[in-house]
Every structure is written in structure tokens, then in C-alpha cells.
Amino acid sequence: QSVLTQPPSVSAAPGQKVTISCSGSSSNIGNNYVSWYQQLPGTAPKLLIYDNNERPSGIPDRFSGSKSGTSATLGITGLQTGDEADYYCGTWDSSLSVGVFGTGTKVTVL
Amino acid sequence: QVQLQQSGPGLVKPSQTLSLTCAISGDSVSSNSAAWNWIRQSPSRGLEWLGRTYYRSKWRNDYAVSVRSRITINPDTSKNQFSLQLNSVTPEDTAVYYCASRFVDRGMDVWGQGTTVTVSS
């Protein structure tokens, strides 16, 4: 159902870095901001990144966001066990006038 | 700070109407800079944005294509809350439903606690 494609899973050892891609089209990522959300088991999603690369207050700078063309990327450095969660990208689709989320990526700390 | 508190039944019979409410504290449903969203999540559909209501000189709504014929999101200015109504539900509407503030692209920074809704007879 999702129009934004993410890899199902990524993994790395503690202290290492992971990147999560979010692929869309010109009607969504290509012409709108992107946000990223972290969802721990049994909890509501939490905003990590807004306006492509901005962090809300309280989000450590280990989390970063970028956008190029019709794709966006979330980076997590200095991976910690507490980072094990599902991560979602989100944006607006201007052609459909709807909000859209990515398929979600599970991060595993080895 | 803004907080959202959801309420509503956790069990709905097929063909009936799912109704949930999201009470806002710390902001106004009539704010000219906010938007108020409903999102749901299920294993089969992932995170799915359902729709939003917001005030920009007049009340406006946007709805997901998948539910556009069955959904209504209404603001209630007297109680500073907004509601979700989803008609003619089927078991496929079984999901965790969330309300959230602001914009899916600019960042939805506050979420409700989530309500698990099961559609079953």
C-alpha cells in the first residue's frame, strides 16, 4: 500500500553506523519535505527528523537526515541497543493530496 | 507542551461505524498553524495516514484515497478536540489508530497513545 519504499531491515554492531533509504517520486519526496519516525515496540511513533534534516529538541545528533531528488536517507551513528526499533519516513503526496509513509525498516543491533 | 488523549471503543461490529476522539491540551484545534491527523497501523497495511482537519480561514479536510468514501474527521471547538468516524467497517479496518498533530512532511511531533480497534462480530 505504501508509495515510499524502504529496506525491510538493516543491522550493524554497537558503535557502528547504519543508513536507511526512502525512495519515492516527484509527486511526493521530490517536491515536499520528509520526516522520519522511530517506533519502539508497543509505542506510538516518535518524530526524529523533520524538514528533511532538522532534529526536534532532545533528539541526539547521532540521528541525521538528508534528501536528494526523489529519495531521502536517515543515518544513525554510534549505534546503541536502545536504537533497535522500526523506522518510517513520511511526506506529502501533492498529486494525490494525501500523506504517505514508507514501508518501514527494522534496525537490529548485532 | 501539546498533549493528545484518545478515547473510543476497542471493539466494533462489521458494517457499523468506528468512532474515536482525540482531546487536545496545550494547543487549539482552531490554530492557524496546526493540522490534526488520524493514522492507523496494522501488520498488513503498515503505517497508513487516514486524513486530517485544519483551519485556514475556514475548516478544511484531506482524506486518504483508500477510505475517502467512508471517513469523516470533524473538529469540535467547544471541547478542543477532533474526531474520526469510519463507516461500514470490515475486519480489514482492524488496526491501532493514532491521532497526531502537525504535518506528515514537516513533522508530526505529538502523537496520541493509540487505540487498538478490532472489527469483529
* A 79-108 residues with CB < 8 A to B: 88, 90-92, 96-104
Residue B11 contacts residue B74 (beta carbons within 8 Å) = no
Query: For the residues B23-44, what does the mean pLDDT come to?
Result: 96
DSSP code string of A74-107: EEE-S--GGG-EEEEEEEEETTTTEEEEB--EEE
CA dist B95 and B71 (Å) reads 15
Predicted local distance difference test score (pLDDT) of residue A81: 96
pLDDT at A2 over 90: no
pLDDT at A1 over 70: no
**A6 exposure class (CB count in 10 Å sphere: 0-12, 13-18, 19+):** buried
Encode pLDDT of A32-87 as tens digits.
999 999 999 999 999 999 999 999 999 999 999 999 999 999 999 999 999 999 99
CA dist A8 and A87 (Å) reads 10
pLDDT at B39 over 80: yes
Encode pLDDT of B56-108 as tens digits.
999 999 999 999 999 999 999 999 999 999 999 999 999 999 999 999 888 99
pLDDT at A110 over 60: yes
Residue carrying C-alpha cell 543508513:
A19
Query: For B65, which of A91, A98, A101 is closest by C-beta distance?
Result: A98
A70 has a chain B CB within 8 A of its CB:
no
Cell of B39: 493514522
Query: For the residues A17-34, what does the mean pLDDT come to?
Result: 97
Residue carrying C-alpha cell 496520541:
B112
- Which of B106, B111, B113, B115 to substitute to test the interface with A, most A CBs within 10 Å? B106
At position B88, the amino acid (one-letter code) is: S
CA dist A40 and B40 (Å) reads 16
Three-state SS at A29 = helix
- Which of B4, B22, B47 to substitute to test the interface with A, most A CBs within 10 Å? B47
A45 has a chain B CB within 8 A of its CB:
yes
B43 has a chain A CB within 8 A of its CB:
no
Paired sense of beta strands B59-63 and A105-109, if any: unpaired
Work out the mean pLDDT of chain B and round it to a whole number. 96
Tell me the CA end-to-end span of chain A in Å, nearest whole number: 30
- Which of A48, A50, A86 to substitute to test the interface with B, most B CBs within 10 Å? A50
B57 has a chain A CB within 8 A of its CB:
no
Query: For B106, which of A51, A100, A101 is closest by C-beta distance?
Result: A51
CA dist A84 and B93 (Å) reads 28
A1–B48 CB contact, under 8 Å: yes
A46 has a chain B CB within 8 A of its CB:
yes
CA dist B87 and B43 (Å) reads 21
Torsion of CA B30, B35, B41, B46, to 10 degrees: 170
Residue carrying C-alpha cell 482492524:
B94
Residue B2 contacts residue B27 (beta carbons within 8 Å) = yes
B109–A2 CB contact, under 8 Å: no
Query: For B64, which of A49, A91, A98 is closest by C-beta distance?
Result: A98
